[in-house]
């Protein structure tokens, strides 16, 4: 693999050390590693191992610089043929994210800090995977920054055990009792509390020495600490050591390491470095520290911003040699077992391999129930092409049940563009939800303005769909919409072929549960179905809006009676809750007492019910496709719409259409000024004749 790491600089620090350690391991394992930063003292460490470094000001917080650096980083990515870009800080992460979108490379982040919630912090959650070092950071990224839990990867930091050699506590003989802090000198690290604790300890430990190791980004804060030290009379006790000092050497001179941080830490690298060195640790109980210190076993925990409690914990170690020795030994054992560099690097490489193997794919199909059913052969083909991908489908709220138990997808995302997601605010919230999934590919099977816009707002690198002048310029992989007479599946398959996906078949499927079948059996028993009677289903109408698609109610009543009289068939009237009153009218007009199922089944229960039918009659509507997916022969009645555009022709699907005989059809008008003349042209006798083979022989073609 070719890996690029980016961070603001390579001066001394936990993030910088982790970057160097990982680079060494990658090179040792034969991987190519590139680092991009503004330079620093640790660049020479990269030179020693033969890892390349590019010097760019990727830490500078300027919009102009961010845009400029994104372009330059994209050039490096292409030149070095980078597979994965791993960002370790917020501004470099934004630059890397833009560069990865431009080059279609995998973007990964490591969240090193307990970030405040603002735009630059959100960037750290945009990686394909977000690596965190502790459980507290995982919770922070999920709950505060909205990163989906399935994109979090927990990898505790690792320490180079060859560098931090263990100091055997049984033979260590200190000249004086020395405690120290090793961290960047900022207010959040709690140096003032440490100094106050030293003041308390100095009155009890005559040979006490204290060191503060680190650099001060703000000189004024260090001056304030100097003033506090002088006021407390500790000028001879506390010594400042610059960050350039060799940290392993510093550790060898300490009796106790103190971590006085007052805000949640992501992890605490210096703590595990002390443990590796055999130096007992006293730390404030904040953030990820609790993941690496078990109180009284691998260290001692004290209350944050409480110098007295901190001093008491240090005093315990001064007085109790057995406890001091035990913590030193247990700390080293814990680091060897859980926090060694090799284990961290192996897990990180595992995340890289997973990221390259697993792609995130979004399929957009936000239309009606029938159209979502028609997308299932496409989903099957996508899964065959990408067996390891995470495939999610964006569907409308009305079709959310269609893909229940679908084996070709991982999950659905439900949108309600007439309710929760209505308007600009709702649409933007929906787009944010899509972005959180870090999709690599979107396949737009809807192909309208809203779906094209959602595909673009998902920020997927590859966006497939039709070039149809419906904001299709927002897609970057398009096929011309120049084949008007394709059936709905062939129309979708053109998009799939553009993405290198080979369609498998045109078989529609649904997956009713055992509970759905039990519901249907109970429903039929309650309606006194006789064993010798066969069943035929009739969908009473298309919808309230598409009145022109409906077959006359009187025709349905007549057909019900003829089926009962001539074939001992009982009719089941299906429909939605809106159709209950209409179905009641038909049942009252018929002498054969049809069973009314309208409004009494959901989609999956309807699919289960259809398996009991010898044949199903329906106008152009979703139940047409439910029947096909259930393996039930279907007679489809068409009037104002074109059958070739809406029906998948099979041996078990018979289409009756008279619109060709009418000068006005197909008109695609929801309401007919000729009072559904084309639908009335389809007679009861014609329908009965089309059904006859299924009724007499009970054999499906």
Interval 220-248: pLDDT, tens: 998 999 999 999 999 999 999 987 668 88
Which residue reads 């959310």 in tokens? 400
- Looking at residue 650, its pLDDT comes to 80
% of residues, the chain, pLDDT over 70: 99
Q: What is the pLDDT of residue 528?
A: 84
* Three-state secondary structure string covering 253-287: CCCEEEECCCCCCCCCHHHHHHHHHCCCEEEECCC
The share of the chain scoring above pLDDT 90, in percent, equals 71
Residue 245: its pLDDT value, please?
64
Which range of 305-314, 333-342, 431-440 scores highest in mean pLDDT? It is 305-314
Q: What average pLDDT does this structure show over 244-253?
A: 82
Residues 334, 298 contacting (CB under 8 angstroms): yes
Report whether pLDDT(661) > 80.
no
- Asked if 107 and 92 touch (Cβ cutoff 8 Å), the reply is no
Predicted pLDDT at 660: 72
Higher pLDDT, 674 or 627: 627
**Each residue of 371-387: pLDDT tens digit?**
999 999 999 999 999 99
| Residue 444 reports pLDDT greater than 60 | yes
Span 514-697: which CATH code? 3.40.50.2000
CA neighbours within 13 Å on the CB side: how many for 122?
A: 8
Strand positions, DSSP E, 126-254: 130-132, 152-154, 177-182, 208-213, 238-241
Residue 698's pLDDT is: 55
- Please say if the pLDDT value at position 311 is more than 70: yes
Query: Which CATH topology does 359-498 take?
Result: Rossmann fold (3.40.50)
Q: What is the pLDDT of residues 573-585, one digit of tens each?
A: 999 999 999 999 9
DSSP code of residue 474:
G
Residue 618 has a CB neighbour count (10 Å cut-off) of: 25
Query: Can 177-339 and 514-697 be said to share one CATH topology?
Result: yes
CB 231 within 8 A of CB 242: no
Domain range list for the chain: 2-154, 177-339, 359-498, 514-697
436 vs 118: which has the higher pLDDT: 436
The number of beta carbons lying within 10 Å of the beta carbon of residue 521 is 13
Mean pLDDT of 81-99: 95
Q: Compute the C-alpha angle 594/599/601, nearest 5°.
A: 95
The pair of three-digit structure tokens given for residue 48, joined into one six-digit string: 């020693």
Instruction: Return mean pLDDT, the chain.
Output: 91
Considering only residues 662 and 588, tell me which one the structure prediction assigns the higher pLDDT: 588
Tell me the per-residue pLDDT of 191-212, one tens digit each, with 9 for 90 and over.
999 999 999 999 999 889 999 9
Q: Which of 250-254, 559-563, 568-572 has the lowest mean pLDDT?
A: 250-254
Q: Which residues contact 463 (CB under 8 A, 6 or more apart)?
A: 441, 442, 444, 455, 456, 474, 475, 476, 477
Q: Does CATH place domain 2-154 in 3.30.70.360?
A: no
How far apart CA 130 and CA 106 sit, in angstroms, is 12
CA distance 494 to 487: 11
367 vs 563, more confident: 563
- What architecture is the 177-339 domain classified under in CATH? 3-Layer(aba) Sandwich (3.40)
Instruction: State mean pLDDT over 619-642.
Output: 93
Give the per-residue pLDDT at 659: 75
Mean pLDDT of 252-278: 88
Q: Does the pLDDT value for residue 188 go beyond 90?
A: no
């Amino acid at each position: 693999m070719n890996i690029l790491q980016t961070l603001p600089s390579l001066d001394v620090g936990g993030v910088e050390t982790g970057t160097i350690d990982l680079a060494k391991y990658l090179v040792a394992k034969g991987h190519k590693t590139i680092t991009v930063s503004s330079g620093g003292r640790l660049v020479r460490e990269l030179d020693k191992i033969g890892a390349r470094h590019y010097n760019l000001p990727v830490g500078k917080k300027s919009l102009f610089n961010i845009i400029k650096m994104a372009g330059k980083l994209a050039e490096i990515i292409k030149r070095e043929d980078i597979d994965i870009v791993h960002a370790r800080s917020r501004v470099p992460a934004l630059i890397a994210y833009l560069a990865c979108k431009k080059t279609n490379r995998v973007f990964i982040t490591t969240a090193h800090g307990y970030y405040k919630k603002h735009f630059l912090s959100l960037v750290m959650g945009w990686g394909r995977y977000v690596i965190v070092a502790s459980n507290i950071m995982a919770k922070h990224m999920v709950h505060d920054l909205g990163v989906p839990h399935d994109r979090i990867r927990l990898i505790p930091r690792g320490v180079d055990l060859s560098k931090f050699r263990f100091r055997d506590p049984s033979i260590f003989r200190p000249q004086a009792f020395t405690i120290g802090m090793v961290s960047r000198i900022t207010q959040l690290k709690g140096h003032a509390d440490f100094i106050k604790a030293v003041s308390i300890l100095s009155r009890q430990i005559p040979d006490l020495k204290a060191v503060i190791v680190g650099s001060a980004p703000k000189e004024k804060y260090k001056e304030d600490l100097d003033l506090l030290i002088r006021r407390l009379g500790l000028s001879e006790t506390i010594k400042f050591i610059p960050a350039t000092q060799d940290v392993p050497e510093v550790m060898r001179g300490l009796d106790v390491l103190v971590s006085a941080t007052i805000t949640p830490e992501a992890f605490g690298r210096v703590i595990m470095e002390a443990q590796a060195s055999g130096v007992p640790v006293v730390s404030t109980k904040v953030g990820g520290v609790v993941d690496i210190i078990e109180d009284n076993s691998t260290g001692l925990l004290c209350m944050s911003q409480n110098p007295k409690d901190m001093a008491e914990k240090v005093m315990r170690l001064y007085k109790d040699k057995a406890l001091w020795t035990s913590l030193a030994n247990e700390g080293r054992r814990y680091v060897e077992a859980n926090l060694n560099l090799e284990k961290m690097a192996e897990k990180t490489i595992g995340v890289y391999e997973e990221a390259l193997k697993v792609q995130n794919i979004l399929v957009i199909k936000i239309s009606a129930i029938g159209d979502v059913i028609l997308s299932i052969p496409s989903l099957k083909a996508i899964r065959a092409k990408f067996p390891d991908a995470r495939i999610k489908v964006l569907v409308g709220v009305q079709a959310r049940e269609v893909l229940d138990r679908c084996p070709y997808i991982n999950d659905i995302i439900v949108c309600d563009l007439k309710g929760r997601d209505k308007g600009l605010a709702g649409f933007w919230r929906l787009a944010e939800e899509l972005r959180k999934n870090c999709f690599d590919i979107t396949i737009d099977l809807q192909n309208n303005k809203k779906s094209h816009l959602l595909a673009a707002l998902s920020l997927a690198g590859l966006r497939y769909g039709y070039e149809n002048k419906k904001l299709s310029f927002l897609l970057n992989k398009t096929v011309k919409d120049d084949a008007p007479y394709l059936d709905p599946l062939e129309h979708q398959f053109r998009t799939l072929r553009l993405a290198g996906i080979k369609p498998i078949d045109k078989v529609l499927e649904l997956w009713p549960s055992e509970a759905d079948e039990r519901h249907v059996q109970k429903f039929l028993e309650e309606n006194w179905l006789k064993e010798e009677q066969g069943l035929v289903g009739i969908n009473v109408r298309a919808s309230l809006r598409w009145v022109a698609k409906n077959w006359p109610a009187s025709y349905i009543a007549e057909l019900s009676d003829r089926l009962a009289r001539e074939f001992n068939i009982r009719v089941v009237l299906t429909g939605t809750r809106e159709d209950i009153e209409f179905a009641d009218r038909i049942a009252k007009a018929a002498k054969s007492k049809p069973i009314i199922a309208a409004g009494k089944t959901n989609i999956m229960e309807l699919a289960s019910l259809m398996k009991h039918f010898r044949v199903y009659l329906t106008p152009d509507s979703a139940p047409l496709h439910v029947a096909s997916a259930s393996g039930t022969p279907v007679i489809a009645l068409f009037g104002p719409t074109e059958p070739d555009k809406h029906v998948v022709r099979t041996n078990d699907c018979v289409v009756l259409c008279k619109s060709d005989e009418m000068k006005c059809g197909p008109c695609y008008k929801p309401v007919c000024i000729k009072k559904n003349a084309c639908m009335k042209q389809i007679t009861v006798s014609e329908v009965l004749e089309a059904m006859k083979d299924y009724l007499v022989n009970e054999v499906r073609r």
